[in-house]
């Protein structure tokens, strides 16, 4: 019985070290119905996988005429926002998703509504944001 307990404790200790971290997302004042989460998983010693899902996400054109995409940005340590990717958007389910690897450990994740999938700078139409801090 003692060895089984030690083995179980060792397995739990090892598996809990790499558990994904979850952060809640709520919509901004421009899109208050939006909610979702950010999941952070360690890929390896240097890389994290950031997975974002936003629910109750209206079509971009419903927020403002001419908008066509939702774009994910990372802002690290006083740097300018860096575009990551456009979210995959399911208009029927009103869901936006994206997964991006990063070496950043302390950054702000932002989703903005844009008129192109590859803007050079983020628009002022913030959909959701979250500060991410991982060890």
Residue 71 lies in a domain: yes
* pLDDT above 60 for 100: yes
Q: Give the residues across from 102 on adjacent strands.
A: 48
Residue 11 lies in a domain: no
Residue 41 lies in a domain: yes
Task: Give all strands (DSSP E) within 43-120, no chain letters.
Answer: 48-55, 69-76, 82-86, 88-90, 95-102, 106-114
The answer to whether residues 52 and 101 touch, using CB atoms and an 8 Å cutoff, is no
Residue 1 lies in a domain: no
Query: Per the structure, how many domains does the chain have?
Result: 1
- What tokens appear for 5 in the block? 């307990």
Residue-number span of the structural domain to which 35 is assigned: 20-133
- What tokens appear for 96 in the block? 């936006």
Residue 3 lies in a domain: no
Residue 96 lies in a domain: yes
Question: Model confidence over 77-95: pLDDT tens digits?
Answer: 889 999 999 999 999 999 9
The answer to whether residues 18 and 40 touch, using CB atoms and an 8 Å cutoff, is no
Question: Model confidence over 1-58: pLDDT tens digits?
Answer: 554 444 434 444 444 455 678 999 999 999 999 999 999 999 998 999 999 999 999 9
Residue 28 lies in a domain: yes
- Residue 57 belongs to a domain with what CATH number? 2.60.40.200
State residue 19's pLDDT score: 63
The answer to whether residues 64 and 100 touch, using CB atoms and an 8 Å cutoff, is no
Residue 57 lies in a domain: yes
User: What is the value of pTM for the model shown?
Assistant: 0.84
């Amino acid at each position: 019985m003692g060895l089984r307990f030690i083995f179980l404790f060792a397995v739990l200790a090892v598996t809990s070290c790499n558990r994904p971290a979850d952060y809640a997302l709520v919509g901004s004042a421009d899109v208050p119905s939006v909610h979702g989460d950010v999941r952070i998983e360690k890929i390896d010693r240097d890389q994290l996988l950031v997975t974002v899902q936003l629910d109750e996400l209206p079509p971009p054109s419903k927020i403002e005429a001419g908008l066509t995409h939702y774009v994910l940005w990372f802002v690290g340590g006083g740097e300018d926002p860096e575009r990551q990717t456009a979210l995959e958007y399911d208009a029927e389910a009103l869901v936006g998703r994206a997964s991006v690897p990063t070496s950043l450990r302390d950054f702000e994740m932002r989703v903005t509504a844009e008129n192109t999938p590859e803007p050079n700078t983020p628009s002022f139409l913030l959909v959701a944001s979250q500060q991410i801090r991982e060890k």
